[in-house]
Amino acid sequence: MTKPHPQHFDPKPILDLIAGIEADLQRLKGLVEQQIEKFDPANPHNKAPDGKLTEEGVECCYRLFDEGKSRYSVAQQMKISFAAATHRFNNWRKLGGTKRQRTLLG
């Protein structure tokens, strides 16, 4: 009984595939990091010049409530009054709380 000869193994196609996957992962990581930056409660784009929350600011507020943050915590993080946070909290609950339809940020 003869042993089969070992086949020549060319690692280049596999290394090319890994390089492509790594590049795709880096692109994906960049996209996710941009989303994290957009979800910054202290981002100035969350407020209009008149001090009211923009659509992004409202969504950011709602996402903090989605995470289980208190009205006090949201007020501090968003730099809004407790009364404004309470108003947003009540709207968030009316929209279904954590089951509400999320909107895209920026």
Domain residue ranges in the chain:
41-98
pLDDT tens for the chain, 106 residues long, are 566 666 788 899 999 999 999 998 888 877 766 665 556 888 888 899 998 999 989 999 999 999 999 999 999 999 999 999 999 999 999 999 989 888 766 5
Query: In angstroms, how far is CA 52 from the centroid of its own chain?
Result: 23
Overall CATH class of domain 41-98:
mainly alpha
Angstrom distance (rounded) from CA 99 to CA 92: 10
User: Is 54:46 a contact under the CB 8 Å cutoff?
Assistant: yes
Residue with the two structure tokens 């007020």: 75
pLDDT score of 103: 77
User: Is 97:65 a contact under the CB 8 Å cutoff?
Assistant: yes
The DSSP secondary-structure symbol of 43 reads -
